[in-house]
Amino acid sequence: MSSEKEQETAQRARRRLTREARYEQLLDVAWQIVRKEGTEALTLGRLAERAEVAKPVVYDHFPTRPALLTALYLDFDARQTAIIDAALQASKAEKHDRAEVIASSYVDCVLAQGREIPGVIAALASSPELEKIKREHQIIFMEKCRLALAPFAKSRAIGSAGLWAMLGAAEALSNAAATGEITASQAKSELFDTIIGMVDRNT
């Protein structure tokens, strides 16, 4: 039978992770906190407690709370980008197919993350630095949509105003679906119509 000391050593070994694996673990726990307790409950101390690690371990990965919020947003954005890229690549080069892919992928990504992502996105507005990061990634997403949809516009171009309107609708509809105010199908359908309308106004 193992002694208590041997059991403690084995337990520490199980908890010893590579830096990359620890980072992913901390992100997973952070998402759990936001999901169950809300964004306001997410502090570095709370994260250390829930992840069962010492505070310096958390600070080593996320020196500040804004850094942690940024990491969560970038984690979500990376997964959303990968899903939309794959869907666009697999779709037919037709206006309605591209519009459906963008609408469905956007809503599905938000719903897959659950109610926590609206809270994280809202928290990003708490500082100019965080808002700048969010805006940079919004612009990248809109440029992706512009390239996918421009061939179907008569002018072969999609205006920035229309893209910002589309993004605003995408965020609002997805968040409404995440909170249960509307269904996922309603969100996708309305966003699809918004995208088609944007393209048609440029024909």
Domains of the chain from N-terminus onward: 1-63 (1.10.10.60), 66-203 (1.10.357.10)
pLDDT tens-place string over residues 118-128: 778 777 777 78
Rounded Cα distance between 140 and 145, Å, is 9
CA-to-CA dists, residue 183 to 36, 80, 99, 107, 118, angstroms: 22, 20, 19, 10, 16
Q: pLDDT tens-digit profile of 139-186?
A: 999 999 999 999 999 888 899 999 999 999 999 999 899 889 999 999
- pLDDT per residue as tens digits for the range 14-50: 467 788 899 999 999 999 999 888 888 999 999 999 9
Res. 11: pLDDT tops 70? no
Rounded to a whole number of angstroms, the distance between the first and last alpha carbons of the chain is 77
Q: How far is CA 80 from CA 53, 77, 102, 113, in A?
A: 29, 5, 11, 10
Q: What percent of the chain has pLDDT over 70?
A: 91
pLDDT at 7: 46
Residue carrying the six token digits 């570095």: 44
Distances (CA, A) of 156 to 42, 88, 91, 161, 199: 45, 18, 19, 15, 10
